[in-house]
Amino acid sequence: MGKTIKLILLGILTLACLSEPLFSQSNSLGISGTVTDETGVAIIGATVLVKGTNNGAITDRNGKFLLSNVQENETILISCIGMVSQEIKVEKKRVYNVILIEQTVLLNEVVAIGYGTQKKQAVTGAVATANLETYEKVPSNNLMDRLKGTIAGLNIGEANKAGGVPEYTIRGQNSIAASNTPLIVLDGTIFRGNMSDISPADIERVTVLKDASAAAVYGSRSSNGVIIIESKKGSGIGGKPKISFESSYGVVNELEPLKVYDAKGYLQRLNDILNDNGTVVALDQTPNYLQLIEKKNYDATPDHQATLVDPYDLFRQTGFNQNTSLSVSNRTEKMNYYMSANYTSQKGVILNDLYKHYSFRVNLESKITDWLTLGLKSYFSMRDYPKDRLYGVGSNTNVYAFSPYADIYNEDGSYRQFPQTTTSFNSPFWAIADESKDLAYNLNGIFTGTIKVPWVKGLTYTATYSHTLNFSEDASFYGYQTIAGQPIKGKGSESFGRSNTSMFDHLIKFNRTFADKHNVDLTLLHSTEKYDSYSQTSSSQGFDNPQLGYYRLQAGQTQTVSTSGSGTKAIGKMARLTYTFNDKYALTGTFRRDGYSAFSANKKYGNFPSVGVNWNIHKESFMKNLSFLDALAIRGSYGTNGNQSIKPYSTLSKISNNYYLYQGDANYTMTEYISTLGNDNLGWESRTGVNLGLDFSVLKDRISGSVDVYSTRTNDLAFTLKLPGASGFSSITANAGEIKNKGIEINLSTINVKKGLFQWASDISFSLNRNKVARLLGDTNGDGIEDDIVSSGLFIGRSLGTIYTYKVTGMYQQEDKDNGTILAGFQPGYYKLEDVPDENGEVDGKITSDKDRQFLGNSKENFRWSFTNTFRYGDLSLMVFINSIWGGNGYFLATNTPYLDGYANRGDLNHAVYDYWTPSNTQAEFPRPSYKDKASFKGNKYYDRSYIRLQKISLNYDMTKLVKGFGIHKLDMSLSADNLGTYAPHWIGLDAATGSGLTDSSIPSMRMVMLGLNINF
Amino acid sequence: MKKIFLSTIILVLLVATSCKEDALTEVPKDFYTPENSYTNKAQFESALSNIYLSIRNGIYCNLALGERAVDLLGMDIDLADAGNNSAAAKMQYFNWPTMNADNAFVGKWWSQFYSWIAQANAIIDRADQPTAVWASEADKNAIVGEAKFLRAFAYHFMANMWGGVPLVLNETKVPKFDFVRATQEEVFQQCKADLTEAIKYMPTIDQLKGGRAPREAAYHLLSEINISLKDYQGAIDAATAVIDNGKNSLMTTKFGKWANFTFSGYTYQGPKQPWSDTYFCLFQDGNFNFKEGNKEAIWNISQDPTIKGGNNDNTAPANEPLFAMDRWWGPINWQIKDKNNVQNYLRDTLQGRPIAFLLVTGYADSVIWKYKGDFNRDIRNSKYNIQRTWYYTNPKSKYYGQEVTKSNCDASTINLWLQRCTPHYKKFVSAVPYGKFTDATSKLPTDNGRTYKDWYLMRLAETYLLRAEAYMLKSDNISAANDINAIRQRASATPVTASDVNIDLILDERARELYGEEFRLNTLMRTGKLVEHLNKYNWYFVDNKIEFNPAWKFLPIPRREIEANTGAVLEQNSGY
């Protein structure tokens, strides 16, 4: 293996060598030097550039560089990825030894804060920047996969379908009815797209604004937090273009293989179900109860061989994952550019689960004059999904239901519609369209012009115009041999959707330091956004000749067309002033006023203020004696955000139309009525919160980190409020209620060992969030106590996700029936439910919904943590990333109900193997098959989903040294794995992380093992 | 410093003037709004049509399985019992003994009626707004009059079923949570006021297409309202205004499309024979409307599956037919198997496709027909109008053509027998149903498709019975007997005498004449006879000896309504 790779590489290198040497040879007028890190290890590939010129060099394998034509008083800039850049003024001396410091030093960073950047010392809110480099060796298909676990408080879920983007939230659940998804800001503008439109390779930096004050610059959109994504800017290598090629390929398998019953198990289960439902049959007589086709196949061989040894194998596949990206970039004094192309292809573990993504990016920035800079950031993205995935969630085409004795094909080789006779189970192959597509295109351009007002130092004006075009195309044709097309002689449809978003931001900034101590940073914003969308669907059915599919919908007898359109407008104004004294104290005040067309008539505008302070304690004279302390700062902030989740037109009164006929008319009469009551007073949900933070760094930055504690309350939750029927309407969305969230987040980075060539560094992140419903609709029943909304699972004083139901205390057995301790309505093999005693300690001997339901816990997790270790020895490094969500105290529960799904009591359909009760398997985990159909009180057993997952592991070999001199600046090979294993002590089923149990809706999770290559020319 | 300020101010001005704040007004693109909808006569007529549609679908075409629709028409009281074709036990749809504020039937009708009222209020209010453009005052008055009639139609049900209810007379434009109940008297007075206005402006029956309410409907309803208000002369006058209008009259001979209908009989054997009488003709497709020559018709719903809007929106075979009378009300005789396990076909064209959710009660099957020994005389009980005998229809059966009896079929229990062979009122089905399709088993084009027919909301026969009731209450039993006899005479039934006249006779006559037509629940609650009829004729009450509950005089106010009305207290009716 190694040899082959080496050979391939040599080939590539030979080609690359044809180019001329990349840095200039020594010159008697030049300077030279060595670049090392703090431990004295030479840094290879660092860029040494004379500022304002193209004159540059790259350090060699010994960290040495040579530069010619350098003038005295010129400045040289030494930079390297992962290190803090340094500038040195050229003096008379000729040799410069430079020590670059690693970029782990938290407190010296400049961070993105929305509409600008700020020195970390001045940041007053909870702002976290993701450490992308650590994880970039593990290829990921979208940014959220890459960010998982890197920032405490940014909670990222699991995706188990090809092309899936995991769900993500920041700091707990703030809303019940409205969205909990954070706002995404890409290159300074509101992102209108899908997270997978953004290629991770193009991303320079991701910053998360977690608290109310930091997010307040985005006003009415920010109550779920903000994720700021910045794409790469141009950078070159020694004044020459930097060409970077990354490619990875790997296999995808089921994390936990899904098992369905084989022939023996299928017959046993059929027998169990027959017996359980009153048809008492001996096991050897069971084949007589097989369906026609099953019986035929059963009798076909003397030893009753199954037609399908493992029926689920029909749909199981080994997937793959492929990522390739190529970028070219350069930076000169007047101009920098970054261009890239990316391709991702993924095949999941179930048939027809496919995904492709193509994207292209161009980022340009040009300094036209001293005072004017123009820029363009643009990308095009195309996503290609399958139309019909075979995750037959609860449908009549479930891939798990195939019988081991089924017939897949008809005599003519086509797929049989009813493979095992029963007409309530269609072959999943019949669910797939003859031809289909589901494409999403996203084209985005961001144009910026920045004017440095020449006569006022520190004053700039930036105009940013961005335009996003989203286009989608969705077509399908279901022919005669499909479930959808068969009864109506084929069915086709074609939809196009288009949306345009344009944003125009005017930004005025003034940043100046007065008297060397007083820094004033003022930002003024005026922003307008316009969005409009249109969609059109044409469909047709009844095709005499279905050959042309959706390309000739007019061939169908019945044709329909529908169109729709909508639009919004938004206006935002924001002012932010930060005053920093001596880099020691910082005070920020922000005020944003937002107007949005979808807001109701009387609430078109909202105001969102915030304030924050930061105190860099370590700069105080009284701290000077604490030599181990490198940095210590405390932050405090308070602010308000909104949730702009009101849908366009949802507050307007609407007309609906129907048709009626008067006898004697040849044609219908269109009717109309007011179907929706307008609401002029619906406002947005608002979140107000306080955040306290501590940033520290000790022992020469060997240990650094931050701790944040927060408390927020979300008011004016959008609720569906019931209206008296006398008004003629049944409900309206109104503002009511309050949710409280509080939590703590810790990020910690340590360098545990640093000795010679060996280094061991760790990153730990921990977050904990608690929430509580503080108010709901008030006291409507007049008992003086705030009402719970039991049907929605909302209880005053309890967390969202509270579980209120019967408690399963065990399983009833035959002896319970025999000795009469079984409750009425229960049978052996049913879950035993707790008969809750009343206030006198008496039980009433029966289960009733009003008396016996109880609070069992909460589906929210107790805390999340992740732990990343990076071991480096010379050119070898190993990254191990462990991610965990953990319950405890009755938290993070989920149901796992194979006994309640659509097929639990169906002997004519297969099922995922699970442990059910029978008279001879009395210690089973789950109840008897007939439980679903017969039990009058069905308890749900809840399982703790706590898990620790080996999320990512990557072994990386930096081969740069081996290829030095072939024109290659960096060569990296990596072997990595995603989702290697999970420890979930309480969970039964496929994956605790996704909550997949053994039911008909469970989907196997994916495990990827990949080989990656990374070359910089 | 000056420069800073200057530059900043210039930039701020530049930016701030670049837009206006009222740019945020939403302009809908793909849906209509009230602002641009109630602006001319055609649009107001559309709004009226929607109320007619709501009435049709709400009363006759509701498919909610738990409710079986048609529940204003006497099911689960005295005319029909709830059957069930799968479980052995019968079940009730609105369970009287456990009637409470959470009852789904109560909640459904409360909001249905208020939805009609809200639609009428929108028309009445918006007709006077400047945005509404009218060619003439008369145009406007006719529209408003019709809306007021429809509002009164909704409120009269509410007054009878709940007593006093909140009187909402204007469009609700902002959420309102402080409704209070008016008295029952106030609600009736409002109905009267609305009807008086309606009568002034609504067109008469000869001017209208079928499906739309004419002035006569307003008189008819006013007659009932006046009885409730104890203004018996007013009731007599209102009824007389219809009876003597010179346009309407009872049909006394066979008429219309099916007057000469012939049929080979239920057995499918033997020659075809004439198969109709006057009463049969009243319920056949194409005969329901005044325009179609039916002088008895006052106001109907309108259906035609071949035209959009005619209730044809649900044509896929898997869906239920939308005319619920045909579907829910009748036996499932095509499920009969003979002793050799051979199942019947659904071949009888007069069968419809009922599924035995509702079965005729003993009261409607026999009690009412035995009056004055008319069982075989009264044409309303003829074989054309009620089928009581069933035959084997499958030629493969040994019993083909023979009558189904308890001994030659597989109906082992009385419930099974009732579900399969209960008497069937033929007025619910059509002589030739729509959309017949091939029976999957027999491959014969015999599966009986669906019934879509117009159906009477008001018929002149009922106007006579309303006047009879008013005469009786005015102690003029002679005139009352005359009105009742007008109907009985047409049915060839024995005339009654003045001394026969009492409320029970009128209720029985209503059952005979208006079975499945009158709003039986409304009638029984209006006359205070609900509890008595439940006790006497409802199988559940009879079997379980359920005690009289005085609370049933009125229905409970739905709990949801009381809870949602947070700004004021809606008093619950006593006993709930």
A888: tokens are 């405890």
A25 vs B80, which has greater pLDDT? Answer: B80
Over range B245-267, report the average pLDDT: 88
**In A, which residues are within 8 Å of B308 by CB distance?**
659, 661, 667-668
Q: Do B49 and A730 touch (CB under 8 A)?
A: no
Handedness of CA B518, B522, B525, B527 (dihedral sign): negative
Q: For chain B, where do the domains classified as CATH 1.25.40.890 start and end? A: 6-202+554-564
The answer for residues whose C-beta is within 8 angstroms of residue B124's C-beta and 6 or more apart is B144, B147, B148, B151, B169, B170
Q: How confident is the model at residue A464 (pLDDT cuts 50, 70, 90)?
A: very high
pLDDT of residue B90: 52
Yes or no, beta carbons of B3 and A732 under 8 Å apart: no
Q: Please spell the DSSP secondary structure of A279-340, one letter per residue.
A: ----GGGGGGGS-HHHHHHHHHSTT---S-SSGGGGTB--EEEEEEEEEEEEE-SSEEEEEE
* pLDDT for A23: 40
Q: Are strands A183-186 and A226-231 parallel, antiparallel or unpaired?
A: parallel
Question: Is A669–B46 a contact, with Cβ atoms under 8 angstroms apart?
Answer: yes
Subunit contact A571:B24, Cβ cutoff 8 A:
yes
End-to-end CA distance of chain A: 24
| A418 interfaces chain B, CB cutoff of 8 Å | no
Note the pLDDT of residue A87.
83
Residue A784 above 80 pLDDT? no
Among the partner-chain residues B50, B107, B111, the one whose CB lies closest to the CB of A673 is B50
Cβ–Cβ contact A514 with B under 8 A: no
Chain A environment of B107 (Cβ under 8 Å) = 725
Mean pLDDT of A919-946: 89
pLDDT at A925: 93
Q: Report CA-CA distances (Å) from B58 to A276, A331, A700, B72, B146.
A: 43, 73, 79, 10, 19
Residue of B nearest to A664 (CA): B209
Nearest-angstrom CA–CA distance, B293 and B282 = 10
* A677:B173 CB<8 A: yes
Chain B contact for A671 (CB, 8 A cutoff): yes
- Specify the range with the lowest mean pLDDT, choosing from A327-336, A391-400, A423-432, A547-556: A391-400
Q: How confident is the model at residue B470 (pLDDT cuts 50, 70, 90)?
A: very high
Which among B24, B29, B209 is the nearest to A663, CB-wise? B209
Is A515 in CB contact (< 8 Å) with chain B? no
pLDDT the model gives residue A1: 42
Tens of pLDDT, residues A360-376: 999 999 999 989 999 99
Instruction: Report residue A88's pLDDT band, with 50, 70 and 90 as the boundaries.
Output: confident
Cβ distance B564 to A659 less than 8 Å, yes or no, reads: no
Please give the average per-residue pLDDT across A197-210, as a whole number: 92
When the pLDDT of each residue in chain A is averaged and rounded to a whole number, the result is 87
Whether A649 and B21 lie within 8 Å, measured CB to CB = no
Question: How far are the Cα atoms of B364, B371, B372, B420, B535 from residue B367, in angstroms, in the given order?
Answer: 6, 7, 11, 21, 15
Contact B26 A648 (CB under 8 A): yes
Q: Taking residues A870-888, what's their average pLDDT? A: 91
At residue B386, does pLDDT exceed 90?
A: yes
Which of A603, A727, A780 is best to mutate for the B interface (most B CBs within 10 A)? A727
| A5-9, A25-29, A328-332, A620-624 — most confident range | A328-332
In the predicted structure, residue A186 carries a pLDDT above the cut 50: yes
pLDDT at A803: 87
Most confident of A473-482, A798-807, B7-16, B255-264: A473-482
- Helix ranges restricted to H, A676-809: none
Q: What do you get for the CA distance between the two ends of chain B, in Å?
A: 79
Q: Residues of B with CB below 8 A from A500's CB?
A: none
Interface test with A, best of B21, B26, B561, B570 (most A CBs within 10 A): B26
Most confidently modeled of A65-74, A568-577, A781-790? A568-577
CA dihedral sign of residues B229, B235, B241, B242: positive
Is the Cα torsion angle A169, A175, A179, A184 positive or negative in sign?
Answer: negative
| Residues A960 and A968 sit within 8 Å (Cβ to Cβ) | yes
Distance in angstroms (rounded) separating the CA atoms of residues A477 and A549: 6
A562 to chain B: closest CA residue: B30
Q: What is the pLDDT of residue A887?
A: 82
Q: Do B174 and A680 touch (CB under 8 A)?
A: yes
Q: Cα–Cα distance between A102 and A109 in angstroms, integer?
A: 11
Nearest to B168 among A660, A665, A726 (CB): A726
| pLDDT exceeds 50 at position A639 | yes
A677 at B interface, C-beta within 8 A: yes
User: Which of B3, B40, B41, B50 to substitute to test the interface with A, most A CBs within 10 Å?
Assistant: B50
- For chain B, say whether A717 makes contact (Cβ under 8 Å): no
Residue A513: closest CA among A433, A591, A582:
A582
Q: Where are the alpha helices (DSSP H) in B290-346?
A: 324-328
User: Which of B3, B10, B14, B15 is the best mutation test for A, with the most CBs of A within 10 A?
Assistant: B15
Check CB contact under 8 Å for A672 and B47: yes
**Rounded to whole angstroms, how far apart are CA atoms B453 and B352?**
12
Residue A929 in contact with residue A272, Cβ under 8 Å? Answer: yes
Is residue A767 over pLDDT 50? yes
Written as one string, the DSSP assignment of A34-77 is EEEETTSPBPTT-EEEETTSS-EEE--TTSEEEE-SPPTT-EEE
| CA dist A645 → A220, A684, B471 (Å) | 9, 7, 64
Residue B441: what pLDDT? Answer: 56
Nearest CA of chain A to the CA of B501: how many Å?
A: 38
Share of chain B above pLDDT 70, in %: 86
Instruction: For residue B77, give how far its alpha carbon lies from the nearest alpha carbon of chain A (Å).
Output: 26
pTM for the structure as a whole: 0.82
Looking at every residue in chain B, the average pLDDT score rounds to 86
Tell me what the mean pLDDT of segment B251-267 comes to. Answer: 86
CA–CA separation, B313 vs B302, rounded Å? 14
ipTM: 0.89
pLDDT higher than threshold 50 for residue B86: no
Question: Does residue A714 surpass a pLDDT of 80?
Answer: yes
Which stretch of DSSP H or E encloses residue B139?
A: helix B137-162
Q: Which residues of chain B are within 8 Å of residue A526 when distances are taken between CB atoms? A: 15-16, 18
By C-alpha distance, the chain A residue nearest B115 is A728
Cβ–Cβ of B308/A599 closer than 8 Å? no
Q: How far is CA B13 from each of CA A526, A594, B10, rounded to the nearest angstrom? A: 11, 18, 5
Stretch A303-311: mean pLDDT:
92
Instruction: State mean pLDDT over A250-270.
Output: 93
Q: What percent of chain B has pLDDT over 90?
A: 53
Note the pLDDT of residue A390. 78
Judge whether A600 and A651 are in contact, CB under 8 Å.
yes
Nearest to B23 by CA among A221, A645, A651, A604: A604
Closest-CA distance of chain B to residue A818, Å: 29
Q: Which of A554, A533, A535, A534 is nearest to A545 (CA)?
A: A554
**pLDDT at position B444, please?**
56
Q: Element (H or E) spanning A849, and its range? A: helix A849-852
Taking the Cβ of residue A653 and every Cβ of chain B, the question of whether any pair is shorter than 8 Å is answered with yes
Least Cα separation, residue B132 to chain A (angstroms): 15
Q: What is the mean pLDDT of residues B386-402?
A: 87
Confidence check: pLDDT of B64 > 60: no
What confidence score (pLDDT) does residue A450 get? 92
Report the DSSP beta bridge partners of residue A592.
A574, A608
Interface size, chain A vs chain B, as Cβ–Cβ contacts under 8 Å: 225
* Under 8 Å between Cβ of B477 and B471: yes
Q: What is the distance in angstroms between the Cα of B369 and the nearest Cα belonging to chain A? A: 34
Q: Verify whether the Cβ–Cβ distance B23 to A604 is below 8 Å.
A: no
Q: Is A695 helix (H, G, I), strand (E, B) or coil?
A: strand
Instruction: Assign domain B6-202+554-564 to its CATH architecture.
Output: Alpha Horseshoe (1.25)
Q: Each residue of B173-185: pLDDT tens digit? A: 888 889 999 999 9
**What gap in Å lies between CA B359 and CA B298, rounded to an integer?**
28
d(CA B367, CA A926): 56
- What's the CA gap between A358 and A196, in Å, rounded? 10
Determine which of A248-262, B88-102, B538-552 has the lowest per-residue pLDDT on average.
Answer: B88-102
Query: If we measure between CA atoms, which residue out of B257, B263, B309 comes closest to residue B283?
Result: B257
Q: At what angle do helices B477-490 and B460-473 cross, to 10 degrees?
A: 160
pLDDT (0 to 100) of residue B347? 66
Give me B137's structure tokens.
């005052």
Q: How far apart are CA A264 and CA B336, in angstroms?
A: 41
B7 CA: distance to closest CA in chain A (Å): 8
Q: Are the CB atoms for A753 and A767 separated by under 8 Å? A: no
> What whole-number distance in Å separates Cα of residue B327 and Cα of residue B349?
15
Measured between beta carbons, which residues in chain B are less than 8 angstroms from residue A721?
A: 175
Q: Say whether residue A571 is in contact with chain B using an 8 A CB cutoff.
A: yes
| Residue among A694, A587, A589 at smallest CA distance from A635 | A694
> pLDDT class for A65, splitting at 50, 70, 90?
confident
Contact call for A781 and B26, based on CB within 8 A = no
Residue B294: pLDDT band by 50, 70, 90 thresholds? very high
**Cβ distance A885 to A861 under 8 Å?**
yes
Q: What is the average per-residue pLDDT within A466-474?
A: 96
**What tens digit of pLDDT does each residue of B194-243 get?**
999 999 999 999 999 999 999 999 999 999 999 999 999 999 999 999 99
Q: How far is CA B313 from the centre of its chain?
A: 20
The answer to whether residues A486 and A502 touch, using CB atoms and an 8 Å cutoff, is no
By Cβ distance, the residue of A459, A649, A728 closest to B4 is A459
- The answer to whether the CB of B116 falls within 8 A of the CB of B55 is yes
Of A1004, A1007, A974, A991, whose CA–CA distance to A251 is shortest?
Answer: A1007
Instruction: Determine the residue of chain A that is closest to B16 in CA distance.
Output: A526
Residue of A nearest to B177 (CA): A724
**Cβ contact (<8 Å) for A727 and B304?**
no
Q: Rounded CA gap, A459 and A388, in Å?
A: 55
Residue B11 CA, distance from chain mean position: 70
Nearest to A724 among B171, B300, B561 (CB): B561
**Smallest Cα distance from A469 to chain B, Å:** 19
Work out the number of other CB atoms within 10 angstroms of the CB of residue A1001: 16
Q: B37, A672: Cβ pair inside 8 Å?
A: yes
Q: Write the single-letter amino acid at A799.
A: S
Question: What does the pLDDT read at residue A18?
Answer: 36
Q: CB–CB of B558 and A565 under 8 A? A: no
